[in-house]
Structure 1
Amino acid sequence: MNFQSESKLPWKAVLLIAPFFFWGTAMVAMKGVIPDTTPLFMAGVRLLPAGVLVLVGAAIAGRPQPQGWAAWLWIMLFALVDGTLFQGFLAEGLVRTGAGLGSVMIDSQPLAVAILSAWLFGEVIGIWGWLGLGFGVLGISLIGLPDEWVLNFLSSSTTSVNGSWQQLLEHGEWLMLLAALSMAVGTVLIRFVCRYADAVVATGWHMILGGLPLFALSGVWETNQWTHIDFAGWMALSYSTILGSAIAYGLFFYFASLGNLTSLSSLTFLTPIFALFFGNIFLNEVLSGVQSFGVGLTLVSIYLINQRDAIALKLKSFTTPQPQNLSTPEFDLNISEEENLLLLEPSESSLATIPVQVKESEPEKSNS
């Protein structure tokens, strides 16, 4: 895993999208494994082995290990928030929540990232950025929520809608909201971590340190963690660990340490799109009309967020009046062509006399 400077990365666009592709496809791979294992064990498997792989790749690339107490304290905080809390809340929430609603809630974290980035780092969101974030949340809601929920929301009264959401929050949805907030805080924390440690190495260590408590809690509270997992299940876990965690998190936090957090985090909206697409291929899941509209809104939101500065600049150039050249007469459509041509001819009053002083040169001396 040879990471170079951001300006020299080959296939940069592909690498930017890769984490969200792997996260979306990992969700599809994990759907068949969840009934055969336990949530905390599954979360630990996704973190600790992946962290080892990231550190091996970083060592091959010659990246430096963390030095000093400040570096390790930031990494441990990073591991607690984005490792233990995020993966723990996510795994427990998936058990208690439908996959669609869980995906919507976890993929809404770009809103929290945008707010934190604007507050801590002064990132300018702008009206087009906020509009794009709104479209993104609406789009993933249409993708992940059942169609009848969306239609009932549009047709039901306020009282029944509030009652249905209160029932939802009595289950595992609040865990998914905590998972989304944990991921958002972890995305912001990488900026502080990178002041003291290498981004890729810190990512590897935070996955190892964050995975250890998950295995410990699994040993205390859970039983039969791997008894019912078959060969296909272990392959799905391997895909989720290697591609969905090691490579995906390594790339994501590397880019998060360098670029605009709001723009990068907005690409999270692609995760449910990839999950839907490959769910249709491998699990025969059919995309409804409401979901198709949600996909369109999501793609529009990503464009608005990532092009918000360019859009604002173009609109400003259209609305700003251009200075007129007062020295050039304009054509008058109410008069003849000959009279218009006369307007372009210089008049005596428009001619200015510029005095020029000519210095007489001395006559050249003869060589004779």
Structure 2
Amino acid sequence: MLSNRIALIAVTALAPAIWGTTYLVTTEFLPPDRPLFAALVRALPAGLLLVALTRRLPRGQWWWRSLVLGTLNIGVFLALLFVAAYRLPGGVAATVGAIQPLIVAVLASGLLGERLTPRTAIAGIAGVAGVSLLVLRAGAKLDVLGVAAALGGAVVMATGVVLSKRWTSPAPLLATTGWQLVAGGLVLLPVALLVEGPPPSGLTAGNILGYAYLAIPGAAVAYALWFRGIRGLSATSVTFLSLLSPLVATTVGWLVLGQHLTTAQLLGAVIVLAALVAAQIPLKKKENHADHSVRSGGRRREPSGDRSAIARP
């Protein structure tokens, strides 16, 4: 059982690790100043591909559930991320976003019965401190709207993670992932057209390769792994893995772009890894009492819903 859990954690961790390469791909391969179009291309084609491959459509309440989850996990989250990225230095946006595990822990305690332990709280605070050391630079300027967007993105994504754990479906993982990507892409479509106008013309082979990377590994594969982790692990454990994104982004910048690493950044990386590992240690039986309270007769209570739905990660 322990080896299975470790394997699932490792596989799920690939998703934020892949997302950590987004900055490199965006700056080196994509046209400048088109982040919403990049987000749209990342989500909608990947979702349509997964729906076509699985040939599954939602049923009953999974139509609106897919819309809600896709909007939270992908559509609104990426839009807010775009606002934060444009109005804040990258380090500030990443540091504010690092509060997401704490938000998930609080929401999960109320909606999923997960115990909010001192260890989780300390790991969450340490995660924010570690990311700030890793990416925050002296003299970084704050912008109220940018900070609000970054915080809103963390809240939106945290809510999406918890609801993804709460709402279950017997449908295949790839089908549900496709539904959410399509829903998120459709939410982004009018926003991208309104803010950035029509798609860029004269795309190069490098541009197309970059967009393909964001759509296939960066969305179809990464989100499937992420939602698989949410299905098999606690919401809190999964969301702490998101701290890998700024860590991987910093590492890739050092290895590929030749960026300099400071002692403070190395310390931040150690703190992030320590917080991440601490959050993955299973709770003792006494600590896990709240989780058992949602079980009845040895079986976990499933939320009421349309069990005939086709899909969910």
Amino acid paired to 1:67: R
Partner residue in 1 for 2:193: 219
CA distance in 2, matches of 1:99, 1:267: 19
Gap change, CA 1:73 and 1:145, over 3 Å in 2: same
Contact 1:26 1:239 in 2 (8 A): no
Match of 1:227, SS state, is coil
Task: Determine the structure 2 residue equivalent to 1:47.
Answer: 43
Partner-residue secondary structure (3-state), 1:32: helix
Note if contact 1:23-1:271 (Cα within 8 Å) is conserved in structure 2: yes
Give the direction of change, closer, same or farther, for the CA distance of 1:98–1:238 in structure 2 (3 Å limit): farther
Structure 2 counterpart of 1:268: 242
SS at match of 1:78: helix
Identify the residue that residue 302 of structure 2 maps to in structure 1.
Answer: none
Residue in structure 2 matched with residue 358 of structure 1 by the alignment: none
Counterpart of 1:66 in structure 2 is: 58
1:133 Cα deviation from its structure 2 partner: 1.1
In 2 relative to 1, CA 57–10 (structure 1 residues): closer, same or farther, beyond 3 Å?
A: farther
SS at match of 2:232: coil
* 1:22 and 2:22 matched: no
Of the candidates 233, 253, 272, which is equivalent to residue 207 of structure 2? 233
8 Å Cα contact 1:20-1:271 kept in structure 2:
yes
Native 8 Å contact 2:12 2:228 kept in 1: no
Relative to structure 1, the CA distance from residue 7 to residue 288 in structure 2 (aligned partners, 3 Å threshold; closer, same or farther) is: closer
Displacement, 1:204?
1.0
Residues 120-141 of structure 1: CA deviation (Å, up to 9, x unaligned): 1111131212111111111011
1:1-368 map, 5 Å: 11-32=7-28, 36-59=32-55, 65-68=57-60, 70-146=61-137, 148-149=138-139, 168-195=142-169, 197-223=171-197, 225-227=199-201, 229-307=203-281, 309=283
Tell whether the 8 Å contact from 2:9 to 2:229 is kept in structure 1 after alignment: no
The one-character-per-residue Cα deviations of 1:51-106 (angstroms, maximum 9, x if unpaired) are: 123334545xxxx64222x1111111112222221111112322222222222223
Distance 2:182 2:225 in 1: 17
Contact residue 39 and residue 95 of structure 1 kept, 8 A: no
From the superposition, tell whether residues 127 and 83 of structure 1 become closer, same or farther in structure 2 (CA, over 3 Å). same
Measured after TM superposition, the shift of residue 16 of structure 1 is 2.0
Alpha carbons of structure 1 residues 293 and 79: separation in structure 2 relative to 1, 3 Å: same
Q: Structure 1: any 5+ residue segments left out of the alignment?
A: 1-5, 150-163, 314-368
Flag the 1:229–1:174 CA change in 2: closer, same or farther, 3 A.
farther
Count how many residue pairs are aligned between Structure 1 and Structure 2: 286
Secondary structure in structure 1 of the residue aligned to 2:283: helix
CA-atom RMSD in angstroms: 2.8
User: What is the identity percentage for the equivalent residue pairs of Structure 1 and Structure 2?
Assistant: 27
TM-score, scaled relative to structure 2: 0.82
Provide the C-alpha distance between the structure 1 equivalents of 2:263 and 2:286, rounded to a whole number of angstroms: 32
CA distance in 1, matches of 2:94, 2:27: 12
User: Structure 1 residues 192 and 125, CA, compared in 2 at 3 Å: closer, same or farther?
Assistant: closer
- Higher Cα radius of gyration: 1
